[in-house]
Structure formats: C-alpha cells, structure tokens
Amino acid sequence: MLGAETENLYRRYIGHLNERRLELGEFVHETLTYNGAPMTRLEYQSLIAGDIAATPDLVFNIDLLVTNGEWIACRLVFECTPKAEFLGLRPNGKRVSFAEHVFYRLRDGKICEVRSLIDRHSLAAQLAA
C-alpha cells in the first residue's frame, strides 16, 4: 500500500476504536506480536476492551502520523478519567492526558506487529497528585 492508503486505513482503525467497534478483523491479523510477545487478535481486542472498561470515556486522538507502505508510526494523545485501575495505576477521580508512541507493521494491509510505548511516567504523576 502507498502512504496515503495506509494513513486512511489507520484513521478508520482509530475511528472504530472511538466508536467502540472492537471487532478488528478488518485491520489486524489473526495473530500478531505486541511488544515482542505473540498474541492473538482476540487477546489484542481484549487488551483494548480492558483499557476502555477502566476508562469508559477514553478517546484516541491522532496527534502525529507518519506512514510508508509497510509501517505506521503514530503519536496518540489520550484524554480520559480512569474509573478503575489503569495500566497498573489507581484512579484518583481526575481527568488525565497522556501520550502513546506506537509503531505498527502491516502485512497484506493488516497489522501484524505492534511496538508501543505509553507515557506511564506522566500518567503516574497525574494520578498521584
């Protein structure tokens, strides 16, 4: 795929997440690796569902997006009010904002590999305050 096609695909994927459409077969292979560990698509969907359960108002905002045919790199900025333990951190009732920098590898137009870093340091500081 070309860069523009890849970008469109990714924007649709994020749209699905924000609409809570978590059946991701259109975007993600049946198996993938997530930060180096093998994972099924169902497990990947459960991971996202778990985050949304802990923070029901979670919104995925694309802040920066760089693509070529094979890779997508995105800076996502989240805003949410955690209601339950989230990324191992306890909620304090406050609205928080934090970033994720994530790379996705595509094979045949679907995600097969994810490398994600979340700004836990900033999130922990906001949830400690």
Strands 96-107 and 110-118: antiparallel
The torsion defined by the Cα of 109, 106, 79 and 87, in degrees rounded to 10, comes to 130
Contact window for a copy of itself (CB under 8 A) among 14-22, 26-34, 38-46, 111-119: 111-119
SS3 category, 47: helix
User: Does 120 engage in binding with a copy of itself (CB under 8 A)?
Assistant: yes
Applying CB under 8 A, which of residues 3, 48, 52, 79 lies at the interface with a copy of itself?
3
Among 8, 18, 40, 68, binds a copy of itself (CB under 8 A): 68
Measured CA angle at 42 (ends 52, 60), to 5 deg: 30
Token pair in block for residue 50: 């778990």
Choosing from 1, 14, 48, 73, the residue that interacts with a copy of itself (CB under 8 A) is 73
Collapse the DSSP code of 64 into the 3-class scheme (helix H, G, I; strand E, B; otherwise coil) and give the result.
Answer: strand
Q: Which residues pair with 16 in a beta bridge?
A: none
Q: Which of 46, 51, 89, 119 binds a copy of itself (CB under 8 A)?
A: 119
Closest contact distance (angstroms) between CB of 55 and a copy of itself is 19
**Site for a copy of itself contains 117 (CB under 8 A):** yes
Judged by CB under 8 A, which of 16, 48, 54, 75 binds a copy of itself? 75
